[in-house]
């Protein structure tokens, strides 16, 4: 979902800002190419990764994550935790201000967290990070006191995901669920402030030289959004862009041969999961009151069908032909990059077309009219599924073509269709107006959130996108969420992954690596040798320096 800032603060604080600094400070503008824009700039309503990328640059949080995966305090200068781990008291840094000059205090922090709690039924993701917050109050001495209902093992990860909003602006907002909010409402305290937003075209952020950690060497960052990836590649070649966040793999060879451009690949900062989402919602679980249509093909509710589809997929071929080898075979919704939470002991379903066909035969799915497509056991509806994906995923069409060919070998037909992200979101959940979706998740540092998307209680909220419902899984989730012993919690999380893998809740084809490209003749200092790659995040954008021509 999100990419979050990371950098060694002491390096930034100690750095001397010389390059491109006039009397008024840095003036250079770095231009970033994206192939998809935010769905909204309302933090409470955002779904897409691009939205959270912008939030991480304009808002501050209590904690942030360093390149080695550790957490450090950001807005807070100190923390005191009670012996029972249920009361956390944070001293907020004095002298903090929002971009409009108003002071940022403990009142704003408490307001923001309570705002997410109060809109738990309205907002998309952020309320989930407050699930165990009993109360959040501002105390004398610019302190914030968070009292939990139960001690939790991942408090730092939860707080690192909660943006601090200005109380003096948001308390007057009439509709907190409005998707199109004015720039005057987008006031944060981060190292960049937003000054221009043209949906699906341009986002301009200007640097803030008074931030407590970051001292950007650029005057502004512009995110240019391209619906045509060829135009984006050409813009980089013509020096109209300085960096591309997601390089189409078909363009890697051509860019590698171009002077002044370097292509880099590596694990993304927020480990990425590419998933095949199978609509398995039971009719009795359809959330009709929340807009559920539940038009999915009934065959997908049968584990035998999902299992056969899994056996029919050649994951290595997908990796080689779709991603040019720049990925690892997928296994569970918890990505390999989240080790040790990733359950490496699970044996995946082997690629075996003969076994897949036998599973369907034994379950009564026959091709009685010999047209190459099996029918339901009652002899009625054919196994013909809708296969859809957001057109912002550059590789998805190639992936879909290969999946169609693989599944055709076991008598399953698919009708392919690409559409925009907004429509996919609307059709997904809680509408469940689809059969199969190709999509992606970006992960948090802690697996709690990704584990939560398979909870029965999240079917009606739209967070559960498959309709999967298993009381055993639900109970295991509640146990891991409050288990304070690391080894015990890890064992529960591994057990949960094993359970949903056996149930074939998702098919995870691969975990792809980030592939990005930047010009070597416009800016220097890109973080390309770190553990994770994230050139369009604040970690690089706050330290790169313009190259004088």
pLDDT digits (tens, 9 = 90+) for 286-305: 999 999 999 999 999 999 99
Nearest to 441 by CA among 49, 7, 34: 49
> Residue 17: is its pLDDT beyond 90?
no
Our measurement of the distance from residue 287's CA atom to the centroid of its chain's CA atoms, rounded to an integer in Å, reads 25
Region 8-24: mean pLDDT is 37
Distance, CA of 410 to CA of 372 (rounded, Å): 9
- Rounded average pLDDT over 235-244: 96
**How sure is the predictor about 10, in pLDDT bands with cuts at 50, 70 and 90?**
very low
Residue 1 has pLDDT above 50, yes or no: no
3-state helix, strand, coil in the chain (%, to 5): 30, 20, 45
Residue 44: cis peptide before it, omega within 30 degrees of 0: no
Residue 325 to residue 511: CA distance in whole angstroms: 11
Task: List the single range of 15-24, 198-207, 291-300, 537-546 with lowest mean pLDDT.
Answer: 15-24
Measuring CA to CA, how many Å separate 304 from each of 154, 355, 504?
36, 11, 9
Give residue-wise pLDDT tens across range 96-137: 999 999 999 999 999 999 999 999 999 999 999 999 999 999
Q: How confident is the model at residue 6 (pLDDT cuts 50, 70, 90)?
A: very low
For residue range 336-374, what is the model confidence (pLDDT) as tens digits? 888 899 999 999 999 999 999 999 999 999 999 999 999
User: How far apart are alpha carbons 74 and 539 in whole angstroms?
Assistant: 14
Give the model confidence (pLDDT) of 494-538 as tens digits.
999 999 999 999 999 999 888 999 999 999 999 887 777 889 988
With residue 507 as reference, give the H or E element that holds it: strand 506-512
How far is it between the farthest Cα atoms of the chain?
80
Give the other-Cβ count within 10 Å of 6's Cβ: 24
| 125 vs 454: CA distance, rounded Å | 14
**Residue ranges of domains in the chain:** 1-58+190-268+514-549, 60-173, 272-512
Residue 228 DSSP code: -
Chain centroid to Cα 476, Å, comes to 23
Using pLDDT thresholds of 50, 70 and 90, give the confidence band for residue 180: very high
Q: How many other CB atoms are found less than 10 A from the CB of residue 329?
A: 14
Task: State both tokens at 469.
Answer: 């419902």
Separation CA 473–CA 466 (nearest Å): 14
pTM of the model: 0.85
Q: Is 364 left (phi over 0), alpha (psi -120 to 50) or beta?
A: left
Q: Count the alpha carbons within 13 Å of 487 in the hemisphere toward its beta carbon.
A: 0
* Interhelix angle 303-312/396-408, nearest 10 degrees: 110
* Domain 60-173 CATH class label: alpha beta
Residue 260, C-beta contacts closer than 8 angstroms, at least 6 positions apart: 239, 519, 520, 521
For residues 216 and 192, is the Cβ–Cβ distance under 8 A? yes
CATH superfamily name and code, 272-512: Dipeptide-binding Protein; Domain 3 (3.10.105.10)
Q: What is the pLDDT of residue 271?
A: 75
Cα–Cα distance for residue pair 352/286, rounded to 1 Å: 34
C-alpha to C-alpha distance for 446 and 537, rounded to whole angstroms? 19
Mean pLDDT value of segment 371-382: 96
Q: Is the pLDDT of residue 14 over 50?
A: no
At 24 the pLDDT is: 53
Q: What is the dihedral of CA 299, 293, 432, 300, to 10 degrees?
A: 0
DSSP 3-state of 400: helix
Which comes out higher in pLDDT, residue 10 or 245?
A: 245
Distance CA 352, CA 412 (A): 15
CA 149/CA 146 separation, integer angstroms = 10
Q: Is the pLDDT of residue 454 over 70?
A: yes
pLDDT at 453: 95
Residue 380 predicted with pLDDT over 60: yes
pLDDT for res 443: 86
Q: What is the pLDDT of residue 251?
A: 87
The CATH homologous superfamily for domain 1-58+190-268+514-549 is Periplasmic binding protein-like II (3.40.190.10)
Average pLDDT taken over every residue of the chain: 92
Tokens of 343: 């359950």
What is the mean pLDDT of the segment spanning 380-402?
A: 94
| Fold match flag (1-58+190-268+514-549 vs 60-173) | no
φ/ψ of residue 268, rounded to 5: -70, 155
CA 382 to chain centre: 35
Judged by average pLDDT, the poorest of 270-274, 362-366, 398-402, 407-411 is 270-274
Calpha distance 286→298 (Å, rounded): 13
pLDDT confidence of residue 67 = 64
* Residue 95: CA count within 13 A, CB half-sphere: 4
Q: Could you give the strand order of the β-sheet that contains 506-512, starting from the edge strand earlier in sequence? A: 327-329, 506-512, 272-278, 436-442, 384-390, 413-419
Question: Is residue 539's pLDDT more than 90?
Answer: no
439 upstream amide cis, omega within 30 of 0: no
Give the integer Cα–Cα distance in Å for 301 and 281.
Answer: 7
Can you tell me the mean pLDDT for 418-426?
Answer: 91
* Contact indicator for 401, 262 with CB cutoff of 8 Å: no
User: How far is Cα 534 from Cα 6, in angstroms, rounded to an integer?
Assistant: 9
**Cβ atoms within 10 Å, residue 18:** 9
Residue 224 tokens read as 């240019």
Tens of pLDDT, residues 61-90 = 999 987 667 899 999 999 999 999 999 999
Q: Tell me if residue 297 falls in helix, strand or coil.
A: coil
366-377 in b/e burial notation, b at 16+ Cβ within 10 A?
A: eeeeeeeebbbe
Nearest to 5 by CA among 57, 75, 73: 57
């Amino acid at each position: 979902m999100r990419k979050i800032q990371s950098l060694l603060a002491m390096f930034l604080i100690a750095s001397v800002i010389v390059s491109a600094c006039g009397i008024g400070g840095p003036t250079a503008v770095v231009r970033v190419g994206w192939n998809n824009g935010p769905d909204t700039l309302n933090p409470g309503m955002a779904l897409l990764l691009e939205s959270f990328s912008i939030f991480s640059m304009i808002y501050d949080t209590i904690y942030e994550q360093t390149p080695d995966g550790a957490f450090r305090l950001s807005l807070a200068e100190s923390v005191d935790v009670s012996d029972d781990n249920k009361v956390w008291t944070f001293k907020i840094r004095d002298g903090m201000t929002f971009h409009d000059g108003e002071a940022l205090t403990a009142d704003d922090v408490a307001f923001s967290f309570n705002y997410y709690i109060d809109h738990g039924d309205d907002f998309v993701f952020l309320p989930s990070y407050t699930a165990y917050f009993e109360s959040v109050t501002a105390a004398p001495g610019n302190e914030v006191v968070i009292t939990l209902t139960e001690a939790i093992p991942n408090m730092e990860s939860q707080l690192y995901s909660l943006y601090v909003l200005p109380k003096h602006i948001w308390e007057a907002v009439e509709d907190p669920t409005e998707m199109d909010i004015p720039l005057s409402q987008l006031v944060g305290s981060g190292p960049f402030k937003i000054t221009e937003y043209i949906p699906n075209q341009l986002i301009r952020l200007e640097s803030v030289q008074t931030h407590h950690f970051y001292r950007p060497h650029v005057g502004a960052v512009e995110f240019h959004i391209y619906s045509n990836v060829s135009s984006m590649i050409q813009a980089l070649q013509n020096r109209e862009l300085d960096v591309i966040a997601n390089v189409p793999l078909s363009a890697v060879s051509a860019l590698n041969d171009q002077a002044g451009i370097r292509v880099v690949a590596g694990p993304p900062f927020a480990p990425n999961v590419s998933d095949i989402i199978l609509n398995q919602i039971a009719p009795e679980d359809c959330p009709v009151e929340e807009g559920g249509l539940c038009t999915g093909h009934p065959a997908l509710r049968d584990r035998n069908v999902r299992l056969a589809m899994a056996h029919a997929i050649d994951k290595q071929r997908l990796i080689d032909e779709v991603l040019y080898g720049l990925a690892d075979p997928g296994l569970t919704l918890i990505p390999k990059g989240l080790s040790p939470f990733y359950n490496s002991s699970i044996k995946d379903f082997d690629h075996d077309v003969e076994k897949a066909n036998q599973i369907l035969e034994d379950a009564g799915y026959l091709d009685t009219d010999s047209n190459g497509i099996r029918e339901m056991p009652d002899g009625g509806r054919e196994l013909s599924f809708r296969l859809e994906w957001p057109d912002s995923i550059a590789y998805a069409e190639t992936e879909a073509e290969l999946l169609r060919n693989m599944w055709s070998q076991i008598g399953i037909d698919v009708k392919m269709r690409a559409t925009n992200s907004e429509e996919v979101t609307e059709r997904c959940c809680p509408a469940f107006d689809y059969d199969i979706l190709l999509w992606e998740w970006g992960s948090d540092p802690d697996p709690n959130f990704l584990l939560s998307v398979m909870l029965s209680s999240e079917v009606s909220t739209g967070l559960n996108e498959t309709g999967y419902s298993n009381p055993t899984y639900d109970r295991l989730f509640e146990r891991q969420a409050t288990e304070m012993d690391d080894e015990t919690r890890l064992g529960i999380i591994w057990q949960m992954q094993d359970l949903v893998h056996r149930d074939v809740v998702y098919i995870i084809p691969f975990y792809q690596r980030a592939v990005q490209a930047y010009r070597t003749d416009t800016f220097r200092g890109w973080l390309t040798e770190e553990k994770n790659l994230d050139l369009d995040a604040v970690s690089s954008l706050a330290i790169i320096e313009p190259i004088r021509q």
